[in-house]
Every structure is written in structure tokens, then in C-alpha cells.
Amino acid sequence: MGLFSRKRSDSDAGSYDAMPEVLDRPSEAPVGLFSQFIDEKQTVVLATHINQITWNSEDRMRIMDASTGQLLMVPTYRKSKGTLPHEMCDTQGQTLFRMKLKFWSRTNTFHGLSATNEEEIIFTVKSDSQVTKLVLSFKNPTDGRETEISLQDHGVSGTLLYKNTGVFHLASAEGNPVIGYLTPKPPTSFQEGGASAAEDARKRNISSYVSVAPGVDATLLEVLYICTEEIRQLYRVGSAAAGSAVASSAATVVLTM
């Protein structure tokens, strides 16, 4: 398995079990852009199952309610345009927003574009240079405030990129409250439904779980995870290319000796 391979093992449990399990509502006003994905009363857990074999198709990523197995969002892709979803749709096929990677360098920037106007940016995601933290910025429609949600390493540096483990914060709020978790397995007190567990058991799939506090838009936390996954994929491709270059150089040295 490669550097970024994440098929779950028993050793993955430690970092998650150290996390608190209770998520409190961070504010009276709902936090988010898509009200249909905000549960006002209870924590929800999203399961994302990524097919490591299929690329650029609707079969690549299945985003579901980890309890019921109901699909929640459907990503669509452009052929030969990488692994970042072009659009995120609801289960009725209605576009929620479009996604675009502005550039890829030491700092990654993603834009979420309006479903009706591709010139209108409705949210922006930026990572730091070491990918220890991503921040999603948007204007909260319920109160008109500029709002930031972050996804960052849990405790030890590198857990987000290499262990698929992180903590979501409402970074723009006083006290920086925790509003969710990203983990490679379901919460310890949570009973995963049969449909989601079956997807997780497939050898071709890697699975991730996003726990979302009440009153928070699950879509935006999922976006932060998807952007992290895209950065991870870009790093994987870059590492493979570098490895090929080194191997080619070594072969050239051998041939010319």
C-alpha cells in the first residue's frame, strides 16, 4: 500500500477514540448555505465511500447518511478533468453548486460557484502550505455575517493529510467551537447502517466519516473533506511522477556507465 493508502485497520482507532463524542449546537442561528442539509436537533454522520478503481464517474464517490444508507449528495465529473467533482447535486439531480480548483501550488484554493451563475463565488476553501488546516469562508445567509469553518489536524501534525483524521471548528465564532469530526471509521457510540457498512467492506473502497453538530450545514463540512481528498490525490500523483523521474534518472546513469 502506498504512502496515502488509507484502507482502515485496527490501528486507526486510537486517534478517533481520543476525541470527545458530544457535539453541541454552536449558535442559535443555523450555520451554512443549504438549509436542507442542516439538522436542527441532532448530530448526523455522513459516510463517504470512494471507489479507488473508478475515476471521473458518478460511481467514484458515494455520500450517504451513515445510519440509514440514504444517498444525500451526488457528485458529477468532467471526463479527463481530474478527480475533483465538477458539480454537487442533490438526489433529484438539481445542482447545488459547482467546484473549481483555482490553482495548485503550496497553497491550494477552491471555489464553490453558484448553480445558476458560474461567475458568483458562494464559498472559498484555502489550505495552508503544509495541509494541516483548511478554511472554508462564506457569508451566512441567516445573519449576513462572514463565516469561517476550519478543518485541521487532530493533535499531532499530519493527521489530516496522512491519517484522514481531523477536527472541524467554527473558526469565526468566539471560542472556536468544535462542530464536527473527520474520521476513518464511524463514531464509537454510533451504529452504522447496513448499506453504509457494506460499502465500507468493499476492498475497492476507502471510507471516511464526517460527524456534524446540530444546526450546521453538513454540505460545507463535506466540502472541506472533499477538498482535502483532492489535495491528497494531487500529492499522490506528484509523488508518483517524482518517483518515475528518479527511476528514469537512475536507469540513465546505469546505461551510460
Q: Is residue 252 part of a domain?
A: no
Q: Indicate if the pLDDT at residue 235 is higher than 90.
A: no
Closest CA to 11 of 199, 158, 153, 164: 164
In angstroms, the CA 183 to CA 248 distance is: 38
Identity of the residue numbered 104: W
Q: Is residue 245 part of a domain?
A: no
pLDDT, position 55: 66
Spatial CB neighbours of 71, under 8 Å, sequence gap ≥ 6: 62, 63, 64, 91
User: Which pLDDT tens digit goes with each residue over 43-73?
Assistant: 999 999 999 887 656 678 999 999 999 999 9
Q: Is residue 141 part of a domain?
A: yes
Q: Is residue 6 part of a domain?
A: no
- CATH (domain of 133): 2.40.160.200
pLDDT, position 16: 54
In angstroms, the CA 28 to CA 213 distance is: 12
Host domain of residue 212: 12-232
State which H helix or E strand residue 203 sits in. none
- Which of the two residues, 138 and 236, has the higher pLDDT score? 138
Q: Is residue 219 part of a domain?
A: yes
Q: Is residue 255 part of a domain?
A: no
Q: Is residue 70 part of a domain?
A: yes
| Number of domains composing the chain | 1
DSSP string covering 54-118? --SSTTSEEEEETTT--EEEEEE--TTS-SS-SEEE-TTS-EEEEEEEEE-SSS-EEEEEESS-T
- The three cell numbers locating residue 99: 467546484
Mean pLDDT of all residues in the chain? 84
Q: How confident is the model at residue 239 (pLDDT cuts 50, 70, 90)?
A: low
The percentage of residues in the chain with a pLDDT greater than 90, rounded to a whole number, is 61
pLDDT, position 103: 65
Q: What is the pTM of this model?
A: 0.86
Q: Is residue 65 part of a domain?
A: yes
